[in-house]
A = this chain, B = another copy of it.
Amino acid sequence: MATGRTHRPATRSRGIPEATVARLPLYLRALTALSERSVPTVSSEELAAAAGVNSAKLRKDFSYLGSYGTRGVGYDVEYLVYQISRELGLTQDWPVVIVGIGNLGAALANYGGFASRGFRVAALIDADSEMAGKQVAGIAVQHSDGLEKIIDENGVSIGVITTPPGVAQAVCDRLVAAGVTSILNFAPTVLSVPDGVDVRKVDLSIELQILAFHEQRKAGEEAEAQAGAAAVAQAAQENNGKGPDGDVPAVMPA
């Protein structure tokens, strides 16, 4: 995952834990799939499997939303879809601007799941005059000169930054000044924003580096395990016929 935040210290009641919020979209996706297959109810066990979490966690998560299940039965799929959608604010429409229409910006504009639920690409913005006027994903790219006006006229509060890292902070500042209060940042830059503005980041190279760390550790453990196995084999040989405990590992890898 990839996250940066800026929050007051966990508000009063209605306070759904951040970790739970981050999983609600997962549940919603699984529930939507069930709904499309006209499945009427689902147990925490089944839904948890579909969402890739364990059932205790799921039940705890849902308990923060209220008591929406029926004991001995499970959860009503349609009802839950509605409740989670409402909780996430997806019953309203969120106009979004994408700034920086390079490869990635274009890919996101074309991404279907974007419009699917609650989100609408209000505008594509680029600093390159060559780019302005071209159509991407059926939407005309506009020059960044008009950024403030576009945001104001469309009531945009969510901005997606897919610019080169060098200009990301400047773009961010303009977005915030123009009234955007949520930013999804794909540029490999740490954005600084005033209080009250949320930033989430998506960063390919960070994700790869985390994978590399674990990958390296696996390789190390493998070697360690082989060394351990070799030691055991050797110990077994030395121990050959000396006692009845030959199947107990004689060496524990430190």
Contacting pair A213 B116 (CB below 8 A)? no
Interface string of A204-225 (1 = CB under 8 A from B): 1111111111111110010000
Docked CA distance A8–B87 (Å): 34
Q: Is the CB of A216 within 8 A of B26?
A: no
Partner of A212, one of B51, B88, B108, B111: B88
A96 CB, min distance to chain B CBs, angstroms: 7
User: From DSSP, what is the main secondary structure of chain A's interface residues?
Assistant: helix
How many Å lie between the Cα of A52 and that of B5 in the bound state?
10
Q: Does A117 contact B (CB under 8 A)?
A: yes
A25 touches B210 (CB 8 A): yes
| Cβ contacts under 8 Å, A217 to chain B | 11, 89
A156 CB to nearest chain B CB (Å): 11
| Contact A2-B206, Cβ < 8 Å, known A103-B110, A184-B211 | no
Judge whether B2 and A202 touch: CB under 8 Å: yes
Is the Cβ of B107 less than 8 Å from the Cβ of A211? no
Among listed A70-78, A190-198, A231-239, interface-contacting one: A190-198
> Which residue in chain B gives the minimum CB-CB distance to A94?
B212
